[in-house]
Amino acid sequence: MDSHSSPSSKKVRSPGGSSGGSNNRGSGGQTVKFARRTSSGRYVSLSRDDIDVPDEISGDYMNYTVHIPPTPDNQPMDGSVAVKAEEQYVANSLFTGGFNSVTRAHLMDKVIESEVSHPQMAGAKGSACAMPACDGKVMKDERGVDVTPCACRFKICRDCYMDAQNGTGLCPGCKEPYKMGDDYDEVPDYSSGALPLPAPDDSKGNMSVMKRNQNGEFDHNRWLFETKGTYGYGNAFMPQDGGDERNEGIQGGVIETMDKEWKPLSRKTPVPAAILSPYRLLVAIRFVVLGFFLTWRLQHKNEDAVWLWFMSVTCELWFAFSWILDQIPKLCPVNRSTDLQALWDKFDMPSPTNPTGRSDLPGVDMFVSTADPDKEPPLVTANTILSILAVDYPVDKIACYISDDGGALLTFEAMAEACSFADLWVPFCRKHDIEPRNPESYFSVKGDPTKNKSRSDFVKDRRKIKREYDEFKVRINGLPDSIRRRSDAFNAREEMKMLKHMRESGADPMEPIKVQKATWMADGTHWPGAWAVPSRDHAKGDHAGILQVMLKPPSSDVLMGGADDKIIDFTDVDIRLPMFVYMSREKRQGYDHNKKAGAMNALVRCSAILSNGPFMLNLDCDHYIYNCKAVREGMCFMMDRGGEGICYIQFPQRFEGIDPSDRYANHNTVFFDGNMRALDGVQGPVYVGTGTMFRRFALYGFDPPNPDKGHKVGSEMQNLGPSDFDPHLDVNLLPKRFGNSTLLAESIPVAEFQARPLADHPAIKYGRRPGALRQPREPLDAATVAEAVSVISCWYEDKTEWGDRVGWIYGSVTEDVVTGYRMHNRGWHSVYCITKRDAFRGSAPINLTDRLHQVLRWATGSVEIFFSRNNAVLATRKLKFLQRLAYLNVGIYPFTSIFLVVYCFLPALSLLSGHFIVQTLNVAFLIYLLTISICLILLAILEVRWSGVGLEEWWRNEQFWLISGTSAHLAAVLQGLLKVIAGIEISFTLTSKSAGDENEEVYAELYLVKWTSLMIPPIVIGMMNILSIAVAFSRTVYSAIPEWSKFIGGAFFSFWVLAHLYPFAKGLMGRRGKTPTIVFVWSGLIAITLSLLWISINPPKGGTPATLNGGFIFP
C-alpha cells in the first residue's frame, strides 16, 4: 500500500502504550502484569519485573517470563505461531486494573461451568500440554485444531513454547531446533506462466509477516494492493504513466469496477404534493384563524367573570405558541429508501483486484449497556447479544461490546453462556436465513416456521436448535443459584482453612472467624467485580475495571463448517463469530460516574483501542436486531454521496408486548413516524437513546468535513491528523481533550478516513479509494488490551473534555437529546431510516405507573435542557431555523403542563360558578371555534396520510398527552424549578398497592395498580369535572329559569377532559371485574350528595332552600 494512501486499521504496536497518568505506568508505556490467581484470590506473578520481591512474599512468586510478541521487523520465531499464541492468551485472560493499581491479565482455563468448544471463545476446550507439570492447553487455530509448531507434532502450550524459544530454542519433544517459516519456503512454480511478485520497497521494512492473514497464510490480495504488483494472465492492467484522466485516483493502474453505471445507495422521496400542499395550506389557515380568534378573545372580556376570562385567554395564548413550535417543523416531511443490491455490488462483489470478494465496508462497533441483572434479566440481554452476533454484515467488520455497569458475575457468566450458544445459533441463522435472529422472539413467532424455507433439513435443524435453546435458558435461569452455591462452597472451604490455621497456631478457638463472603468464578478465583455481599473494592460503586475478550477477532477469510463439527450440518456455512468483549468500567467512591452516559463513553474509548470501528451502533439491553440487514440499510446512507456529513442514522423504536389497544400510547407512533420523519427533511431527527448508528468521528466533537478546504482525494492524499479537522485544536493539547492514551489519539484519523464514502463519482469530493479497507484486522495483543483497561479507569476523564464536548454529554438525565443537539449545532446532519421490516424491537412499560415515571424522566431532562446552555436559543447559526424550533419545543413542552392543568379545571369552575369563559355564546365565538376544530380534524387526517399513523393511534397519543401533561410533565417542571432555584432534588418513589397473580396472561402487567403521587392531579381533575357536571345539572334542572346554553357549553368541555382521561380511569380500575361494585355505588352517592349540598348552599335566584321549583325540600 502506498504510504500515503490510507492509514492502516491499527498501527503496529509495541508493548508500550500511553505514558503517564497512573502509578503503574512508567515512561515506557502501559505495563502488563501477567499473573495467575490462586484459589484464595492472591496473585502469582508471571512477569520478570516482579522477581525481585521482598522475602516475606517471595514464596508466592515464580520465576516465569511472558514476552509480548516482537514487531514484524524483528522476528525471532515463526510469525504465525507467535500471533496465534498471543491471541489465544489474550482471549483466555481476564484483564483487570484501574486507578493506582496494576493491570493484570488473569489466565482463565474455565469461564463457565459448562464446556465450551468454539475456538474463538475464552476457555474453549483443547488438548493438554505435554510438558511435565503443566496444566496449560495447546494452542488452537480457527477451527479448533491443535497448533504444533514443530514437525514432530509435540503438543505444547503457549507459555511453554515461548519458554523453549527464549531458552534453548529446541523442541522439547524431538530436541531439534524450531524451524521458522517452513510453511512458506516452498519453491514457486512458474510453469503456468504466472509472473513472480515484485519485491517490496526496502524502505518499508519486512512486511511479509504483516501480509499474512490470521490463518497464517500469505495474503496475496493485500500484497498486490500495497505493492502495486500484478501476476498471472488475464488481469486488467494499465500502464503506470499516462492513462485516462478519469482514473487518476486508481491505485497502481488496476481497473476497479468504475466502468459500471454509478448507482446511488439511497434516495430521498418527498411526500406527494397532493397531500403535502393541502396540509401546509391548512396549517396557514389555522394560524391565521388562531390569530383572529385570540384577538377577538382579548377584545371581548367576560365582565361577569374576569378571572375566568383571564385564565382562559392566558392558557389559549400559550397553547397557540406551543402549537406553532410543534407544527412548523412538520412542514417538510420526506421518505427515504435504500438499495442494498447496489451496496453489495459496490463493496462486496468479487472483482479482478478482489477475487475472493473480501468486503470493503467499514467496521461497526455495537454497544449494549446494562446495569442491574435484577432489573434487566440476563436472558433478555443474552438474546440481544445473540441477535447482534448473527447480524448480516461481514463478520470480521463487526465487534460487539457490552457494558456491565453493575460489575455482576451473573451478567459475565450469562454473556459467556451466550457466546457458547452462539456457536450453534449464528451458523443456524446463516444457513436457513432466519428472521428475527433473537432466539426467544423467533421461537415465539406465531405462524408456520417452514414458510419460505427450502432446505430439506430445516425441520430437523430447527428441532435440534430449539432443544439447545431450551437448555441454554435453563442454564441462564440457573446461574444465580449456581453462583451462590459455588460461592458458599468456596467460602466454607476458606473458613475451614482459617479454622485449621488457628488450631495449628494455637489461637483462641472461641474467637470468631473473619472470612470475607466472596463471590467466586468458575475457575475457583475471586470475581474482581461486585460481590453478592458487598465489601471494599467489591461493591457496585467500588470495583476494578474488568475487560474480557470473550470472542477473539475472527479470521478475515471465510471459514466453512463441516458435517461432523457440530450437532447440525454446517457444510458450506460460515461458522465464524464476530468479536465480543465484556467490559465493566472501574468505579470508585468519590467519583461521579455519570450513569449511562459515562458507561457509553467508556465503551467508545475501549472500542477505539481494540477495534476502532468508524461507526458505532448503540442498543439498550432489551432492544434487539429484528432485521438482520439493518446495519447495511444504515450504511447505504453513510456510504452514499454526501454521507460524509451525516453524524448518525436514527432508526425508529418499535416495541413488543404492548396491549392491542395501546392504552398508554407506548408505540408513540405519532412521534416516531410523524415528528421524526418531518425533521428528516430539515437537519435530521433528534437522537432518542437507542437504535442509532453513529459516526465515531462526529462523536469525538469535530465539525463536519468541508471539501472546499482542499482535503484532496487521490493518490496524493495525506493522512490527516485531528488538528486538520479542528484548527483550534493544538496537537500538544490532545491529552486535554481526549485523555493521555496515545493509541486513542492515533485511532482518530484512522476512524475518520475509514468512514468516508468511496471516491467513485466526480461529485464525491471527500472520499476514499476502493479497496482501502480489505486488509485483515490485526490480532490483539496484551499491551493493546491493557491500554483498553486504562481508558476505562475512573480517573481517565479527569481534566479532559469527555462528557463536555467529546462523546455522550453529561449533565442531563436525557443525555441522548443533548448529545444529538451538540452534533447538529456543529453543522452535522442526521438521517431517519425507516425500513420495510422493523430494524430493531424492544420492550416498553405497559403499566400506568411505570409509563408515567418513564415520561417523568424524559420531561425532567427537557426541563434541565431548558435551564442549561444546551437551550436552542443559544445555538449557533449552523443550526437551521426549523431545527432550532424543534429543539426549542423539546425544552419547552413540559411547561405546557402548567397551563393544561389550569385549562382542565376551567370547565369545572365554569359549571360550579355558573359563568362561562365568554359572556355569551354569540355567533362569532362559535364560528371561530368551529373553524379551528375543523382545521384540527383535517390536519390530523392529512398527517395520518403522510406519516402512516393510524387514526386510533393518533387519538391514543392525544389522550396520553393530556394524562402525562397533567401528571408527569407538571412534576418535572416543579422538580426542575426547585433544582434550579433552591438546589433541591426531588424523587418520586413507587408504592405497590396490588400485585397480579403468578399465572397471569401476557398483558397482566397492564392491570397492576401501583400508587404514585403522579396520579393525584389527574384524579382531582377527573373528580372535579364529574362533580361539577352533576352540580350544574342539578342546579339547572331545579332553577326557575334554566340556562341550558351555559350548562351545555361547560359540560361539553368537561366531557372533552374526561374523554382524554378515560385510559387513566381504566388504569386505576385495574382488571375488569376486580373493582367492587360498592365503589361505584359510593361514588354515585357522594356525587349526588355534594351536588345537592351545593344547591342548598348556593340556591338559584328567585328560590329558597325549602322550595325549589316544585316544592322539593332538601333534607
Q: What is d(CA 483, CA 414) in angstroms, rounded to the nearest whole number?
A: 11
Residue 842, classed as helix, strand or coil, is strand
The residue whose grid cell reads 465539525 is 703
Asked if 856 contacts 1014 with a C-beta cutoff of 8 angstroms, the reply is yes
Dihedral class, residue 857 (left if φ above 0, else alpha if ψ from -120 to 50, else beta): alpha
According to DSSP, the β-strands at 93-97 and 545-551 are antiparallel
624-625 vs 542-543, strand pairing mode: unpaired
Tell me whether strands 364-370 and 334-338 are parallel, antiparallel or unpaired. Answer: unpaired
E strand or H helix at 463: helix 458-505
Q: Which helix (H) or strand (E) holds 29?
A: strand 29-30
**Phi and psi at residue 837, in whole multiples of 5°?**
-100, 130
> Which residue type is seen at 766?
Y
> What phi and psi, each to the nearest 5 degrees, are found at residue 44?
-105, 115
User: How are beta strands 32-37 and 692-695 bridged, if at all?
Assistant: unpaired
Please tell me which residue in 50, 163, 680, 816 is annotated as part of the active site: 816
- All three cell numbers of 191, joined, read 510453469
Q: Is 202 among the catalytic positions?
A: no
DSSP classification of residue 357: -
Element holding 35 (H helix, E strand): strand 32-37
Residues 6+ apart with CB under 8 A from 1050: 907, 910, 911, 916, 1028, 1032
Are residues 557 and 357 in contact, defined by beta-carbon separation less than 8 angstroms?
Answer: no
What are the Cα distances from residue 813, in Å, to 597, 865, 943, 965?
A: 9, 10, 31, 19
Q: Are 527 and 521 in contact (CB under 8 A)?
A: yes
> Residue 339 catalytic?
no
Those residues whose C-beta lies under 8 Å from the C-beta of residue 782, and which sit 6 or more positions away, are: 32, 34, 68, 86, 89, 90, 93, 105
Q: What are phi and psi of 476, to 5 degrees?
A: -65, -45
Closest CA to 263 of 756, 766, 641: 641
Orientation angle between helical segments 881-892 and 306-327, nearest 10 degrees? 130
Instruction: State CA 382 to chain mean position distance.
Output: 14
Q: Are 409 and 415 in contact (CB under 8 A)?
A: no
DSSP conformation letters of 975-1026: HHHHHHHT-----PPPEE-----TT--TTGGGG--EE-GGGHHHHHHHHHHH
Choice among 405, 423, 461, 838 that is catalytic? 405
Q: What are phi and psi of 22, to 5 degrees?
A: -160, 155
896: Cα within 13 Å, side-chain hemisphere: 25
Which helix (H) or strand (E) segment is 398 a member of? strand 398-404
Q: 641: closest CA among 773, 771, 767?
A: 767
Please, what sign has the CA dihedral across residues 172, 173, 176, 180? negative
With cell 349540598, the residue in question is 1093
Q: Report the distance separating Cα 957 and Cα 1063, nearest Å.
A: 11
Check if the beta carbon of residue 555 is closer than 8 Å to that of residue 213: yes
Burial of 246 (0-12, 13-18, 19+ CB in 10 A): exposed
The catalytic residues are: 405, 816
